[in-house]
Amino acid sequence: MEQSCKNCEKPLPEKAKFCAYCGQKTSTPKVTVKNLLQKLWDTTFHIDNKLFRAFRTMLTPGAMARNYFEGKRSRYPHPIRLFLIAAFLFLLLFNQILKNNQGGSIIRFNLGDTEDVSGQSFYDIMRTHALIEELREIRDSLYPEPSDLSLHRGFDSILNTYTVNHIEVDSAAYLFRDSTGKPDTTTVTLLFTTRRMPMLDLVRYSPEELIDHYHITNYLDQKTLRQAVKSLKEPETFGHAYVGSISWVLLTIIAVMAGFLTLQYRRQKRFYVEHFVFLLYQHAGMLFFFSILLLAALWQKPSQWVTVAAFFSVATAQWLGMKRYYGEGWLKTTLKWSLYNLVYLLASSVLFIIGVLIVFLLF
């Protein structure tokens, strides 16, 4: 009786161990927890000899992309999958570094001679000071006469000894008053207009009250103000949302720069995808390299010289990768590498700013 594959139902040759059409094993033994977890691991991360072979090949910049287009594709992970694994590992470690260095918060303040305030959002500091200002206004309304000076001093003495989250009231006051001692104002820049308002109004009133009080009628300006207050109130949420978007920003940069390389090497008549895959492998190697540095930084903060050397190494790897992959002379490669880095710096700056704006409007 002719056998057929249980997965795709195609006919199977006699004694075949795998289906020639879909690749599934002809034998279907009982599934164990070990088999299930192994399949999940393999299909999600594809961690096998391919990844370790990719690590070795990355030590030779440009070699993996060259091998890929010479037909040696099965020996390496898919370029996009490798990039996403590298980005996942980098962002995981980067987030951990942020938490370790800043007490779990994206925001860190040092207020004059007071204690260093970690994990304390600027919004909380403003809200605390707004409360103190309101108490002082109540004091002035209750004791307006000069004869009440001693009462003023007693009231101020109580306020000055009161602390909230290790922040002395008067130590933060300079943040919200100008040189004359009057409440400081700030310019809030929206998409189509600007408004001048006291800084403490941002915490005293809700976004809807601010919109009504300052007569903000444009929908996009209203949206911007709401998001501005939200980012002030939840800086960690905004910071983590942006960090999580870095991989997609990098993919966009790679796509743009692949187009630039297509122009630079147009005489070689390469397809766009050849430049795209080259940059995917280059960036994956860069992310793995920085991941190793971040892993080391969890135990000991690197010196400034180590950081400079790391960026110099990445730039050198890019230069050597272009030389090996495109096969041009050292002078041509150096000139094109220099121009590439100049355009890369410009493009990445613009795209990272766009990424911040998109995250700002959507987080």
Domain boundaries, the chain: 1-25, 59-103+236-362
Give the Cα separation of 349 and 341 in Å (integer).
Answer: 12
Instruction: Indicate the DSSP class of residue 195.
Output: E
Give the per-residue pLDDT at 274. 94
Give the per-residue pLDDT at 21. 75
Beta-sheet strands, E only, within the chain? 108-110, 116-118, 163-164, 167-168, 185-189, 194-198
User: How many degrees, rounded to 5, is the angle at CA 271 between CA 281 and CA 55?
Assistant: 15
Give the per-residue pLDDT at 169. 43
CA nearest neighbour of 245 among 336, 360, 96, 139: 360
How close are the terminal C-alpha atoms of the chain, in Å? 60
Structure tokens at 296: 């080391």
What does the pLDDT profile of the chain (363 residues) look like in tens digits? Answer: 567 777 777 887 777 778 877 777 776 666 677 777 776 666 655 555 778 888 888 889 999 999 999 888 888 888 998 999 899 999 888 888 777 665 444 334 343 444 444 445 566 666 766 776 777 777 667 666 655 566 666 666 666 555 444 444 444 444 445 444 555 566 777 777 787 777 777 777 888 888 888 888 888 888 888 888 887 777 677 777 777 788 888 999 999 999 999 999 999 999 999 999 999 999 999 999 999 998 888 888 878 888 889 899 999 999 999 999 999 999 999 999 999 999 999 999 999 888 888 887 777
Give the per-residue pLDDT at 121. 59
What is the three-class DSSP state of 75? coil
What is the three-class DSSP state of 21? coil
Give the per-residue pLDDT at 337. 96
Give the per-residue pLDDT at 105. 41
CA nearest neighbour of 123 among 224, 240, 203: 203
Give the Cα separation of 278 and 255 in Å (integer).
Answer: 11
Give the per-residue pLDDT at 219. 87
Please give the C-alpha separations between residue 18 and each of 90, 195, 314, in angstroms, as whole numbers: 37, 70, 43
Structure tokens at 216: 């903000």
Give the per-residue pLDDT at 167. 47
